[in-house]
Amino acid sequence: MSKQEIILCEEFEKALAEAINKCQHDKIFILTDDQTHLLCFPKLAELAILKDAIEITIGATDTNKNLKTLASVWQTLSDKGATRHSLLINLGGGMVTDLGGFAASSFKRGINYINIPTTLLSMVDASVGGKTGINFNGLKNEIGVFSTANSVLIETDFLRTLNDQNVFSGYAEMLKHGLISNTKHWAELINFDTNRIDYIKLKELISSSIQVKENIVEQDPLEHSIRKALNFGHTIGHAFESLSLAENRPILHGYAVAWGIVCELYLSHLKTGFPSDKMHETIRFIRDNYGTFTYNCKEYDRLYNFMLHDKKNTAGIVNFTLLKNIGKISIDQTTDKKTIFEALDFYRECMS
């Protein structure tokens, strides 16, 4: 898998023109969702280099990250004359970059694509690292491929279009990057004033966060070993997300990850000795900023069954990434069902 170019934009129009000119293209398509069509597409529509671009708009939110939507993107590409030499620009959050990346990677066996993430979650996680895909059969990201964008353009001005919930959703992935990297970065994230966002400081934190992910992906692009560190908080987090969808009370991905971090920090404390003080300080930050996801003990088996579908598992055993300390990663950790239920108990006790 080739290394992708990640550009933290100072002059967005110039950076985009350079990225486009590096890609052979006969036609340019721009994928948006209902929200980015209204809030972000106008910034691209006014650029001369995109005057002939064809926009494809899909429904917003993760509920549209499915086979039907994917097929509609393929259909439009085909109907509008896209060829193997066309270029797709994905303008949106993680749903758009995941689905758009998969559409580009599979149409005509693969066309060039550029990601322009517009949410914090997509900037620091979804658009970076080459994972693409859709949800299927009630499971998160069940179908997809590893395929890197030609370029990822980070334009932080788009963050000003977000509500607080979407900022916090992305911030959860940054918090994860702090936990798996070093104490300095973790402390900066824990102490950031989330009530009055300093966008200049946030841009610096975003740059550091992307660097954490880039370094790990470069070592292990296809997730055979250390890249599993990026799944910290996700095994249980994805189970929360799947349960929320099954019960028709959808939650933002980053919130699910934050709540998953609470459970997996507890497992880390039990299994690998993660320090209690740092665990509680992190949980306090999550409780103060993310609220809580409610469930009862009758749903434990259902949550466990969702965990069994996690792609990191082997032979039907739930596989976790845990931490011995901040930046001290232990991949391929297993535990029994009883202990997982204990972590679910812990969550309900400390987050209520």
Q: Topology of 5-161 in CATH?
A: Rossmann fold (3.40.50)
Phi, psi angle pair for 200, to nearest 5° = -70, -45
Provide the token pair at 1. 């898998």
Provide the token pair at 112. 């060039």
Which tens digit of pLDDT belongs to each residue from 100-139? 999 999 999 999 999 999 999 999 998 888 899 999 998 8
Domain residue spans in the chain?
5-161, 165-351
CATH of 165-351, one of 3.40.50.2300, 1.20.1090.10, 3.30.1300.10, 3.90.45.10: 1.20.1090.10
Question: Rounded distance, CA 179 to CA 254, Å?
Answer: 15
Burial of residue 81 (number of CB atoms within 10 Å: 0-12, 13-18, 19+): exposed
Provide the token pair at 279. 């665990």
Q: Is the pLDDT of residue 3 over 90?
A: no
pLDDT at 2 (0 to 100)? 61
pLDDT at 1 (0 to 100)? 57
Which tens digit of pLDDT belongs to each residue from 229-277? 999 999 999 999 999 989 999 999 999 999 999 999 999 999 999 999 9
Which tens digit of pLDDT belongs to each residue from 177-206? 999 999 999 999 999 999 999 999 999 999
Mean pLDDT taken over the chain: 95
